[in-house]
Amino acid sequence: MTDLLYSEEEEALRSAVRDLLTDRCDAAAVLARAETDTPHDRELWKALAEGMGLAGLLVPEELGGQGATHREAAVVLEELGRAVAPTPYLTSAVVATEALLACEGPEATELLAALAAGRTVGALAVSLATAPGAPFNGVRHEEVGDQGGALHGELTGIADAVGADVLLVPAGGGLFAVHTAQDGVTVTPRTSLDLTRPLATVTFEGARARALTQDADAAVRRALRAGAALLASEQLGVAEWCLTETVRYTKERHQFNRPVGSFQALKHRLAQLWLEVVGTRAAARAAADALATGSADTDLTSALAQAYASPVAVRAAEEAVQLHGGIGMTWEHPVHLYLKRAKADSIAYGTAGAHREALAGLVELPAP
């Protein structure tokens, strides 16, 4: 039976992460950082990854990780979403880690341990917009004698490549590890809609690479599926913040001699949003639990979670902007960070439409 609740340990984990984020990641700091050249908060990452050991949640203990499950990682992502935290948790500790877990051999094992320890940040070099089952681009691979060879080509839309130490790059059907601090690798930051999750174009000109697996397809699919499934928990966090903050604001903000939250036109909308957030939580928990237990329902629940959570998070953020009135349109007020994250998340790892399409196949309700 799918366990859709939070365990005591998970609640304890949540409060630890929330406390840290309350101390170290307030909205003003996130906003200030977004406008610098170092979009990730390295100190915060250190505290989360090394201090609390969260980067290794999905990695078995014998490989240097915490041996926890996707259920715990999902709780972490809820909190990171609630704070629009500028950290590469989803991309490194979930997506890159999952890709490595699909590989065998010493190269992958070593990298996994490094990622789990939080000392090394990894990123899968597949466009953030790619849905789990969709085709993805790779670059050209050239044998040069050693175990890996050299890579040539360009990949776009790579989330958190800025700040990553290692890229996992599909090339010639295989997956390769490429250190970013070497000749032949250029990471060019692009201006991202989501100020807290930077995108980059990466180019390889004879970059030295180490082979991780011959079957990039399987590794990438696994990674993207976990990304999509757990993204729903981040979206839940984003939506919850938007709802809570808007409820708080509309209780306090007075117009016409009364709190604007007392107008039924607003009350019903916020109540409706609450219902959708409740639904998002159930869907996100189902997806995390399926991954954690290796359930046969994993594809279905992750597509379901994305099909549901993406539009809810976007709507929650849009409602938050609207119900804050003019102040919601300002740069100073943090709600725009959530809107930008929610909108970018709705494209990340496949749009709701792409996931509905995947579902149609899975539940045998095919298109006409």
Partner 1 sequence: MTDATELRLRTEEFLAAHPPASTDRGDFLKARFDAGLAWVHYPEGLGGLGAPRSLQAVVDAELEAAGAPDNDPRRIGIGLGMAAPTVLGFGTEEQKRRFLRPLWTGEEVWCQLFSEPGAGSDLAALGTRAVRDEASGDWIVNGQKVWTSSAHSARWAILIARTDPEQPKHRGITYFVCDMTDPGVDVRPLRQITGEAEFNEVFLTDVRIPDAHRLGAVGEGWKVAQTTLMNERVSIGGMRIPREGGMIGPVAKAWRERPELRTHDLHQRLMKLWVDAEVARLTGERLRQQLVAGQPGPEGSGMKLGFARLNQEISGLEVELLGEEGLLYDDWTMRRPELVDFTGREAGYRYLRSKGNSIEGGTSEVLLNIVAERVLGLPSEPRTDKDVAWKDLAR
Ligand X SMILES: Cc1cc2nc3c(=O)[nH]c(=O)nc-3n(C[C@H](O)[C@H](O)[C@H](O)COP(=O)(O)OP(=O)(O)OC[C@H]3O[C@@H](n4cnc5c(N)ncnc54)[C@H](O)[C@@H]3O)c2cc1C
| CB half-sphere exposure, 101, CA atoms < 13 A | 25
Binding partner of residue 331 among partner 1, ligand X, none, CB under 5 to 8 Å per kind? Answer: partner 1
Q: Which of 5, 329, 360, 363 binds ligand X (CB under 6 A)?
A: 329
Q: Which residues pair with 300 in a beta bridge?
A: none
Which of these segments, 29-37, 127-135, 230-238, 323-331, binds ligand X (CB under 6 A)? Answer: 323-331
- Distance separating alpha carbons of residues 85 and 162, to the nearest angstrom: 16
Binding partner of residue 150 among ligand X, partner 1, none, CB under 5 to 8 Å per kind? Answer: none
Q: Which residues pair with 147 in a beta bridge?
A: none
Instruction: Give the residue with the Cβ less far from ligand X, 36 or 264.
Output: 264
Site residues (CB under 6 A) for ligand X, limited to 92-121:
none
Binding partner of residue 298 among ligand X, partner 1, none, CB under 5 to 8 Å per kind? Answer: none
Which of these segments, 85-93, 128-136, 239-247, 317-325, binds ligand X (CB under 6 A)? Answer: 317-325
Instruction: Give the residue with the Cβ less far from ligand X, 123 or 266.
Output: 266
Instruction: Give the residue with the Cβ less far from partner 1, 149 or 157.
Output: 157
- Distance separating alpha carbons of residues 93 and 77, to the nearest angstrom: 11
Instruction: Give the residue with the Cβ less far from ligand X, 113 or 323.
Output: 323
Sign of CA pseudo-dihedral 236, 238, 241, 243? negative
CA-to-CA dists, residue 7 to 24, 158, 348, 363, angstroms: 26, 34, 28, 30
Asked if 257 touches ligand X (CB under 6 A), the answer is no
Binding partner of residue 357 among ligand X, partner 1, none, CB under 5 to 8 Å per kind? Answer: partner 1
- Distance separating alpha carbons of residues 339 and 320, to the nearest angstrom: 9
Instruction: Give the residue with the Cβ less far from ligand X, 266 or 314.
Output: 266
Instruction: Give the residue with the Cβ less far from ligand X, 124 or 321.
Output: 321
Size of site (CB under 6 A) for ligand X: 12
**Beta carbons within 10 angstroms of residue 125's beta carbon:** 33
Dig out the tokens for 123 from the structure.
């990123």
Q: Which of 187, 260, 288, 309 binds ligand X (CB under 6 A)?
A: 260
Tell me the residue type at 118: G
Q: Which of 143, 255, 365, 368 binds ligand X (CB under 6 A)?
A: 255
Residues of this chain that interact with partner 1 (CB under 8 A) are 35, 127-129, 156-157, 190-195, 199, 254-258, 260, 263-266, 314, 318, 321-322, 325-326, 328-332, 336, 339-340, 343-344, 346-348, 351-354, 356-357, 367
CA-to-CA dists, residue 97 to 146, 152, 170, 181, angstroms: 24, 24, 15, 20
Q: Minimal CA–CA distance to 163: which of 206, 120, 131? A: 120
Do 22 and 79 touch, CB atoms closer than 8 A?
no
Do 307 and 349 touch, CB atoms closer than 8 A?
no
Which of these segments, 9-17, 29-37, 88-96, 325-333, binds ligand X (CB under 6 A)? Answer: 325-333
Collapsing DSSP states into helix, strand and coil, what is residue 202?
strand
Q: Minimal CA–CA distance to 58: which of 89, 12, 14, 80? A: 89
Which of these segments, 159-167, 175-183, 215-223, 257-265, binds ligand X (CB under 6 A)? Answer: 257-265
Residues that bind ligand X (CB under 6 A): 253, 255-256, 260, 263, 265-266, 322-323, 325-326, 329
